[in-house]
Amino acid sequence: MDNTAVSNFSAVGRMDILRKRYGGRLMVTREVLLEAEKGPRPEAIRQAIEEGWVKVRPLYADSEEHGVFVELRARGFGMGEASSIAVACSTGGTWVFVSDDLDARREAGRRGVGVVGTYGILVREVAEGRMSLEEGNALLRRMIASGFRSHSDDLRAEVERLGRGR
């Protein structure tokens, strides 16, 4: 997962993990930025942009990606999800779409875009030795306690499955 990532930033949990994993290669659209500005921690995305590890990527009006954006908006996707999927689609599958919105990840996947959510990022961080299983599980459980929805509160099975797939 060394590709550039386009993120539905407002939905993704831990900024420090995103910075370590994608620092300098993480893009957000202006639409995601607008949504994040209305969120609970708008200063976090502003700081990331000022520090230069998150870049703002415009959605080009006279392009195929704008058409994808309009289609997805008409289907009920939010501005951030629609713009991020549209930009990720325009890269020919070389970027990863980072989002915790399951419907958005499914739509991006149907369009041939690689996808990952916060849970998947934590699994990869542990599997690649960037954090211990205990650290990953502790972080996941803190996130769940603060409202993050997850199908599991333990990364072990997914880390082991990923390790077998190498």
pTM of the full structure: 0.84
Q: Does domain 5-116 have CATH number 3.20.20.70?
A: no
CA distance 84 to 21: 18
Per-residue pLDDT reduced to its tens digit, 55-69: 998 888 778 899 999
Provide the residue ranges of all domains of the chain, joining segments of one domain with +.
5-116, 119-164
**How confident is the prediction for the chain on average, in pLDDT?**
86
The type of residue at 137 is: N
CA distance 121 to 131: 11
Sheet holding 26-29, edge to edge: 54-57, 26-29, 5-7, 96-98, 114-116
CA distance 70 to 153: 36
Q: Residue 11's pLDDT band (boundaries 50, 70, 90)?
A: very low
Residue 158 has pLDDT above 70, yes or no: yes
The tokens describing 115, both together, are: 């996808």
Per-residue pLDDT reduced to its tens digit, 80-131: 999 999 999 988 778 889 888 899 999 999 999 999 988 999 999 999 999 9
Specify the pLDDT at position 45. 85
Lowest mean pLDDT among 62-66, 73-77, 154-158: 62-66
Specify the pLDDT at position 63. 84
